C-alpha cells in the first residue's frame, strides 16, 4: 500500500482548495471560530458576492468549511478536520524524508 493510499481520503482536493489566495484568506478569517455570512465575508474584498460564494462552495466541498442556513442568511464556519488531514499528509511526507536521512546517516557512519 503506497503512502498516498495509506490514509483515509485523498488529500489532493483539500490542497487544491487551499491553493488559491482568496480562499486562503477566507479560511484564515474563518479560523477564528466565528461563523460569518456571505455578505459579511464579501464586504471587505474587491470581488463580487457571487465570486466569494463560489470560493466558499469550493472550500465546503473540500470539507474545510461548513455552511448552514439560518433565516435569510447562510453562515459559514471553519471545519478543522480537513486541515488536520492535510497536515497528516505533509507529516507523512516529511517523516518518510527524515527516515531516509536517518538510514543514510546510519549507513555512512557504519
Contacts with a second copy, residue ranges (CB under 8 A): 2-4, 10-21, 24-25, 27-28, 31-34, 78, 80, 83-84, 86-87, 89-91, 93-94, 96-97, 100-101, 104
Q: Which partner in a second copy, DNA, none is near 37 (CB below 5 to 8 A by kind)?
A: DNA
Minimum distance, C-beta of residue 50 to a second copy, in the bound complex (Å): 21
Neighbours of 28 (CB within 10 A): 10
The one segment of 24-32, 66-74, 89-97, 100-108 that binds DNA by CB under 7 A: 66-74
What is the phi-psi region of residue 47: left when phi exceeds 0, alpha when psi lies from -120 to 50, beta otherwise?
A: beta
The torsion region of residue 33 among left (phi > 0), alpha (psi -120 to 50) and beta comes to: left
Q: Cα–Cα distances in Å, from 10 out to 55, 58, 72, 88, 107?
A: 20, 16, 35, 11, 34
- 71 interacts with DNA by CB under 7 A: yes
Binding residues for DNA, rule: CB under 7 A, are 20, 22, 37-40, 42, 46-51, 53-55, 58, 69, 71-75
Amino acid at each position: 500500500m503506497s503512502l498516498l493510499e495509506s490514509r483515509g481520503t485523498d488529500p489532493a482536493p483539500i490542497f487544491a482548495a487551499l491553493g488559491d489566495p482568496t480562499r486562503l484568506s477566507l479560511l484564515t478569517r474563518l479560523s477564528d471560530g466565528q461563523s460569518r455570512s456571505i455578505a459579511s465575508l464579501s464586504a471587505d474584498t474587491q470581488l463580487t458576492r457571487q465570486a466569494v460564494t463560489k470560493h466558499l462552495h469550493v472550500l465546503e466541498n473540500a470539507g474545510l468549511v461548513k455552511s448552514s442556513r439560518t433565516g435569510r442568511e447562510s453562515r459559514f464556519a471553519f471545519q478543522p478536520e480537513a486541515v488536520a488531514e492535510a497536515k497528516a499528509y505533509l507529516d507523512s511526507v516529511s517523516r518518510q524524508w527524515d527516515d531516509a536521512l536517518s538510514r543514510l546517516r546510519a549507513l555512512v557512519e557504519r
